[in-house]
A and B are shown apart, each in its own frame.
Chain A
Amino acid sequence: MRVWGLTFGLGLVTAFGLAARLEPWFQSWIGNRARSANLLEVALGDGRKLFARHAYVKADIYFHSGVYPSIYDLRPAQAHMHTATATTAGHEAEAEEHSWLGPPRDWLDRFSRHFYPTRHRHLGESHHGHEPGPRPQTGSQDRSVAGEERELLPWLRLSASLDPQQPQTYVVAAFWLRTRLHRVNEAEQFLREGLRANPGHPEILFELGRIAAEHRNDPDRARNLWELAARNWQQRQGAATDSDTLVYAQILAHLAKLEEDQKRYERALEHLQALKQISPNKPAIERWIHTVTQQLHNR
């Protein structure tokens, strides 16, 4: 009996000692999920990033009103997700991408196309009932259905919750929030959330600058944000891709326009010279430089 009591006591002391030793280590351990207030992070850990992409694709599917190729369909070579970039002007050209469905292969295929969306349509464009088959060539634009773009937001929010280190998610959501849904405060708040998860990211800073310039009428703040974005982009230039270069070009172009509007022509010319180095459309930039130079001389 005494042996059992001693063994039990020894076990208790060992357990207490181990707990006292491990608890501080566990609290400071980088893999401790309990530190996060995010339920998804606690439940899924780093595995949640696998689902983040799915949620982002889901937003793109919603943007196309459910018309989307499956893994069994042939995707066009230049297929891309364009939730953030599609405009009415680009609609016709983009419709060509949706040839992945092709002509019906048999009577069952033809019949089945009545039961799922087959016509290309973006959110925010109206529709005249379900008409399967190829899209009419008339290209007549339907009246706009205002605010339908809000349907993307749950998926973008979910994607950002699952993988906060994807700046594109914040930028896309902010684009729709401020341009179509007129929710500038929410867009800015979401971008700031993205900036906390991705400190100094040029694309997020650029988008914040656009809010300051276009919605808050605060050119000084916009300039500061864009200049910071440009500096950060130059620091990260080693890992730059084509899309990153496009972001830098946009930053420089916006900075140049801002300085031109503020009649700070010397600064505008500096930005335009930098833009000329990376722009594929050099003649247009040269014409712009010429215009700004003339304005500088006329002052």
Chain B
Amino acid sequence: MNPAISSLVWPWRRRPEQPAGLHLLTALNNIHAVGGVVIRELYRRKDFYVLFVLTALITLVMGSVNFFNEDRIVRYLKELCLFLIWVSGLVIAVTTAARQIPAEREHRTLFPLLAKPVTRAQVLLGKFWGCWLATGLALVVFYVFFGVVSGLRERQLPLDSYWQALTLHWFMLGVVCALALLGSLVFAAPSSTNTITLVVVTGILLLGRHLNKVALSLPEPWQTVVYGLYFVIPHLELFDVRDLVVHNWGAIPWGIWLAALGYATVYAALLLGAACWLFRRKTLN
């Protein structure tokens, strides 16, 4: 049996000689340790800084434009800033997640990593955890900037709405990270993973909500196929509450917010499960 494959066990599958509680703790420690490396990588690379500076610069320049001597016009600025945050968030999440496994293979650091008492699934979950945390940290910085800019102009700070927007965005990026990790195991190079993931995510964001309407206008059997697709795809556009934030619609009910987070968790788990299964079967050398 291939030794690289034999090192894979499910992250929480206990070895016979190990107590159950200790095993779970070890697995979580391993995952967190692998994730820590990804976070350090984020603040060593320039991607985040470049995107943040660009977002801040464009927002501030647009904010300095005078429209009919009205100094409290803010919604166009909120829309622009949130759009830039969404683009930046997507770029950070996809590029960070898509390069993790290929980089480990290319630099041949995956074998020493797997030689330690770390399973393949733990490596993959650690990578996901790191990417998700890293995008979360980046989002916090972006949303703090957004809150400061809109708060200064609007003279109000609806923290509940902003918190919901941030968390929904973060969980959505969790699904995107899982999708990019899965893609990195399927496609040959990070560039193709980046492109395909971005195309799929953008397609879902633009069309996902309307797929049912499109399906109803089609003849059978395409109607069933497209309607089926509508239910199968992860509806990432659900997490896009920018219009509610821009036009001050107030917070959505907390139960609905929680259900949306659960929806994202289920899809992220499914995609990660598929990625673990693929990684388990993948020949590394």
Which residues of A pack against B, CB within 8 Å? 62, 65-66, 70, 72-73, 105-106, 108-109, 111-112, 114-117, 127-130, 147, 150-151, 153-155, 157, 173, 177, 181, 183, 186, 190
Contacts and interface: CB of A to CB of B under 8 A. Distances in A.
Given A129-B251, A130-B249, A130-B250, A117 B244 contact: yes
Query: Looking at B69, B212, B230, which has the most chain A CB atoms within 10 Å of its CB?
Result: B212
A115 B208 CA distance: 13
B58 interface: no
15 contacts: A66-B247, A105-B212, A108-B212, A111-B238, A112-B209, A115-B240, A117-B243, A130-B244, A150-B68, A151-B75, A151-B76, A154-B67, A154-B76, A173-B68, A177-B68
Contacts of A173: 68
B33 interface: no
Contacts of A72: 210, 213-214
A65 to B, nearest CB: 4
Contacts of A106: 212, 231
Given A62-B75, A115-B241, A153 B252 contact: no
Given A65-B249, A109-B212, A115 B76 contact: no
A157 B76 CA distance: 12
Nearest to B250: A129
Given A116-B243, A130-B244, A108 B70 contact: no
A117 B249 contact: yes
Interface string B60-75: 0000010111101111
B20 interface: no
Interface size class, chain B: 35 or more
A153 B209 CA distance: 30
Interface of B: 65, 67-70, 72-76, 168, 209-210, 212-214, 216, 230-231, 235, 237-241, 243-244, 246-253, 256, 259-260
B231 to A, nearest CB: 7
A145 to B, nearest CB: 9
Contacts of B216: 105
Given A114-B252, A117-B247, 5 more contacts: A66-B243, A129-B251, A147-B72, A150-B70, A181-B68
A118 to B, nearest CB: 9
Contacts of A157: 67-68
A72 B253 CA distance: 27
Contact of A116 (B69, B244, B248): B244
Given A73-B213, A108-B230, A153 B68 contact: yes
B244 A115 contact: yes
A136 to B, nearest CB: 16
B214 A190 contact: no
B212 A190 contact: no
Nearest to B210: A72
A150 B153 CA distance: 13
Contact of A153 (B67, B210, B240, B246): B67
A108 B235 CA distance: 9
Contacts of A129: 249-251
A128 B250 CA distance: 8
Contacts of A109: 212
The 4 closest A-B pairs by CB, nearest first: A72-B210, A129-B250, A66-B243, A65-B247
Query: Looking at B168, B237, B252, which has the most chain A CB atoms within 10 Å of its CB?
Result: B252
Contact of B249 (A105, A108, A127, A153): A127
A111 B247 contact: no
B158 to A, nearest CB: 10
B238 A112 contact: yes
